[in-house]
């Protein structure tokens, strides 16, 4: 998978080298290319922002550097994959986007080329979105209902979530198989390791008993109880029967 990122803070993406994604890069599974938007601002101050049309607080990113940066990436994609390969998908992280989730990560992991356009300030001149929507596929995506200062942290979260789903990236494919089986919307069961006793806190005895049917049953019950406690909204209808979580009085 090729991933291009455009940002005025390319250094943020050094973090991706530290983890799994660094190894995926070394293995040639993920081709991550980070571009500095300011390289496409040609005035002497390399200015990428300006005051908002119509007035208001803050600054807005000018369209011209974005046009030059994205045109360059799209042209290089057409050059390198001359076959009628599917268009790159351009993702603009935005508080106004569709909310990113595991389903979206799974869908995006099938793409061959993603481009992340990281805005700053109050965002990017909307004509950039219109231009690339007219020429190809564009999505506005939010990572959740809180306000960040720009698209970089959101892009890193999405790249990590998507990247680990690319075949070969996660060391142990069994953990992904397990994950997909557990894709029933319930939270995970609690995990333990050695020592069996730590500060007078014991690993639950069922986990040390070696009866795998009991262990599976216990883990499933833990998942349901945990979900009921902290995310009752995720409980499937058939498990919601005796739930107290859905009553207005709670």
154 near ligand JEE, judged by CB under 6 A: yes
Q: Using CA atoms, how far apart are residues 87 and 128, in angstroms rounded to an integer?
A: 17
Nearer to ligand JEE, 119 or 235 (CB): 119
Candidate list 71, 72, 142, 170; residue touching ligand JEE; CB under 6 A: 142
**C-alpha neighbours within 13 Å on the C-beta side of residue 114:** 28
159 near ligand JEE, judged by CB under 6 A: no
Nearer to ligand JEE, 21 or 143 (CB): 143
Candidate list 90, 105, 143, 156; residue touching ligand JEE; CB under 6 A: 143
165 near ligand JEE, judged by CB under 6 A: no
Q: Please, what is the minimum distance in Å from the beta carbon of residue 159 to ligand JEE?
A: 12
Looking at 137-145, 165-173, 204-212, 229-237, which segment touches ligand JEE (CB under 6 A)? Answer: 137-145
Looking at 63-71, 82-90, 92-100, 231-239, which segment touches ligand JEE (CB under 6 A)? Answer: 92-100
List all residues 6 or more positions away from 24 whose beta carbon is below 8 Å from its beta carbon: 30, 163, 166, 168, 169
Number of residues that bind ligand JEE (CB under 6 A): 18
Q: Please, what is the minimum distance in Å from the beta carbon of residue 8 to ligand JEE?
A: 11
94 near ligand JEE, judged by CB under 6 A: yes
222 near ligand JEE, judged by CB under 6 A: no
| Binding to ligand JEE in span 177-206, by CB under 6 A | none
List all residues 6 or more positions away from 209 whose beta carbon is below 8 Å from its beta carbon: 215
| Binding to ligand JEE in span 100-129, by CB under 6 A | 119-120, 122-123
Looking at 108-116, 127-135, 149-157, 232-240, which segment touches ligand JEE (CB under 6 A)? Answer: 149-157
Q: Please, what is the minimum distance in Å from the beta carbon of residue 193 to ligand JEE?
A: 34
Nearer to ligand JEE, 98 or 221 (CB): 98
Looking at 90-98, 102-110, 131-139, 159-167, which segment touches ligand JEE (CB under 6 A)? Answer: 90-98
| Cβ atoms 119, 91 nearer than 8 A | no
Kindly give the pairing relationship between strand 89-99 and strand 137-142: parallel
Which residues of this protein are in contact with ligand JEE, per CB under 6 A? 93-95, 97, 119-120, 122-123, 142-144, 146-151, 154
């Amino acid at each position: 998978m090729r991933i291009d990122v455009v940002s005025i803070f390319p250094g943020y993406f050094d973090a991706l080298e530290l983890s799994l994604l660094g190894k995926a890069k070394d293995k040639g599974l993920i081709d991550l290319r980070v571009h500095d938007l300011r390289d496409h601002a040609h005035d002497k101050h390399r200015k990428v922002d300006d005051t908002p049309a119509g007035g208001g607080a803050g600054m807005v990113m000018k369209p011209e550097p974005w046009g030059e940066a994205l045109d360059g990436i799209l042209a290089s994609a057409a050059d390198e994959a001359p076959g009628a390969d599917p268009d790159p998908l351009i993702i603009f992280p935005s508080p106004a986007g569709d909310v990113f989730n595991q389903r979206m990560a799974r869908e995006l992991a099938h793409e061959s080329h993603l481009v992340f356009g990281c805005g700053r300030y109050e965002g990017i001149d909307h004509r950039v979105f219109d231009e690339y929507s007219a020429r190809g596929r564009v999505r506005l995506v939010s990572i959740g209902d809180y306000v960040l200062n720009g698209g970089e942290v959101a892009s890193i979260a999405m790249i990590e979530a998507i990247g680990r789903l690319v075949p070969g990236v996660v060391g142990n494919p069994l953990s992904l198989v397990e994950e997909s089986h557990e894709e029933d919307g319930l939270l995970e069961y609690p995990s333990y390791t050695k020592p069996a006793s730590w500060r007078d806190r014991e690993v639950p005895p069922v986990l040390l008993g070696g009866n795998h049917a009991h262990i599976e049953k216990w883990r499933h019950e833990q998942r349901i109880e945990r979900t009921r406690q902290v995310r009752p909204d995720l409980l499937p209808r058939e498990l919601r029967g005796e739930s107290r979580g859905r009553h207005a009085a709670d």
